[in-house]
Structure 1
Amino acid sequence: MKTIPHVLVVAGSDSSGGAGIVRDIETLAAFGVKASVAITAVTVQTHQGVEHVDAVAPDRVAQQMRASLSANPIAAIKIGMLATSATIAAVAQVLADHPDIPVVLDPVLVSTSGRALLLPDATDALLELFSSCMLVTPNLPELLVLAAVPRSVADQARTLLAAGAKAVLVKGGHANGMEAIDILFQPEQAEQSFASPRLTATMRGTGCMLASAVAARLAFGDPLPAAVALAKAFVYDKFRET
């Protein structure tokens, strides 16, 4: 029998099911990939907002990751909400022991409703984690915060590359225009654009969905640009269904 790849999801829970690890698992299942999980935080959420956040102890997050890695053939790792600098440090230690596994990091800073999901003092630690990841997927507001340079999107993305990111996929959902355009930046390569018609529908958890879809395709061995293209198409199809 052909082995079905597993993706390890390191992320927070969302009691409403609209985002976080629930979205991740749904997406991986749609791609025929099995999920293993390491919960970083338990959140109390509705579709209107985040009411409470309890971060899981950092050593417990690391233990979950190591248990998943020992139990299953993990072919890719998707990281979402990390909450604290201590959790980021714990995750980084585990990743250092598995440098050959591709990692997709969705840098979750705030919820859709505006609640902070990463403590302000953890931003520098998150930037340091970029060097352990194959891809980082910020949206435009996240990119501005992380790059901390009020220049063009390309300048901001290349600032993250200079900080250690191997590739940056800037999500264009917060921009204007008839198309939603995501742009992939890689060192010493021309940028690549992935466009889809902009729809009027709204949906929570799209960042989780996109990053998990990329991780799913990387688990099957796709090159990064091909994985991004398929993930972008998947999210667009989900928007059309809403």
Structure 2
Amino acid sequence: MQNIPKPIVLSIAGHDPSGGAGIQADIEVLAALGCHAATAISCLTIQDSRNVHELIPLQSALLTRQVETLLTDYAIDAIKIGLIGSADAAMAIGKLLRQHPHIPVVLDPILAAGGGTELASEALLQAMLEEIIPHTLITTPNSQEARRLTRRPQLEQCAHDLISRGCQAVLITGTHEAGTDVVNTLYRQDAPPHSKHWPRLEGSYHGSGCTIASAIAAGLAKELPLVVAVSQAQQFTWDSLKAGWRPGKGQQIPDRLYFIERDQLV
């Protein structure tokens, strides 16, 4: 039997020892959706399901060497960027993206932990806007991140500001907004906003942003149209959250392999 090659997604993200978010979350999503995950660690963390207690950025030179080594060996089909850790790392990532403009990039702009710990300095915010956003196909901030990135009160203004900086699309997720439903809205430069409503699940979840961004990257790596990749990623994320569980004393974590476990029980 001939082995069929899988699309390869490069995840640049932090390590979360709790397994709820970060590199481990990305690997689970990409494996579940039929992709191979190549990974580059941007930072280490001391964290659990409640909060990030310490952030330890890697030297940007080490991050660059990880990514360059993979790009030399693999034909990367998409890049997903999560927790960056420092302005120096953002500038290094921006330089790498400029050298590979043909690869679609998904940015999950992680600015704070679910427990409230700040994960992005003002210098990192600026570097993200100047060095990474212009080379991004789509960025996936939640509503709080969108407002902080752009300093604009209205979410549509936030999206247009980010698009004006060079990214082609913005998906703003609405978990932090009021309402019985969670409303996620996709904004593009030459198309009307497209919103999808999802029943709000009880509790809070650790790693939902990583899940949706990685799922979009998987769709793009499989050459799905952007709108289709975003739609399928939202469904996968909601299903993973619905099947989620609470392993510790803090947030629930998505079960990104829920369908495998479901099929085994049949």
**Offset, 1:117:** 1.4
Of 16, 19, 28, 1:17 maps to: 19
Matches for 1:144-159 after TM superposition, within 5 Å:
144-150=147-153, 152-159=154-161
Indicate whether 1:187 and 2:189 are aligned. yes
Q: Tell me how large the CA RMSD over aligned residues is.
A: 1.1
Task: Provide the rounded CA distance (Å) in 2 between the counterparts of 1:50 and 1:180.
Answer: 25
Whether the 8 Å contact between 2:16 and 2:44 is mirrored in structure 1 is: yes
Q: Provide runs of 4+ in structure 1 moved above 3 Å.
A: none
* CA deviation after TM superposition for structure 1 residue 7, in Å: 0.3
Matches within 5 A, 1:90-239: 90-128=92-130, 129-150=132-153, 152-239=154-241
* Counterpart Cα distance in 1 of 2:241 and 2:16: 20
Aligned mates of 1:53, 1:176 — CA distance in 2 = 30
Contact preservation (8 Å) 1:202, 1:239: no
TM-superposition CA deviations, 1:193-230 (whole Å, max 9, x none): 12221111422000000000000010000011100000
Residues 106 and 217, structure 2, Cα contact 8 Å, conserved in 1: yes
Please report the TM-score for the alignment, with normalisation by the length of structure 2: 0.88
Q: In the TM superposition, what is the alpha-carbon distance from 1:69 to its structure 2 partner? A: 1.3
Query: Does the CA contact (< 8 Å) of 1:43 and 1:53 recur in 2?
Result: yes
One-letter identity of the residue aligned with 1:51: H
Correspondence 1:78 to 2:85? no
2:42 maps to 1:40: yes
Are the equivalent residues in 2 in contact too, given 1:201–1:239 (CA < 8 A)? Answer: no
Structure 2 contact 136–166 (Cα < 8 Å) conserved = no
User: Does the CA contact (< 8 Å) of 2:12 and 2:39 recur in 1?
Assistant: yes
TM-score normalised by length of structure 1? 0.96
Query: 2 CA distance for matches of 1:34 and 1:194?
Result: 28
Higher-Rg structure is: 2
Q: Which runs of 5+ in 2 are unaligned?
A: 245-266
Aligned residues: 241
Offset of residue 2 of structure 1: 2.8
Deviates more, 1:116-125 or 1:54-63: 116-125
Unaligned stretches of 5+ in structure 1? none
Identity among equivalent positions (%) equals 36
Q: Which residue of 1 aligns with 2:254?
A: none
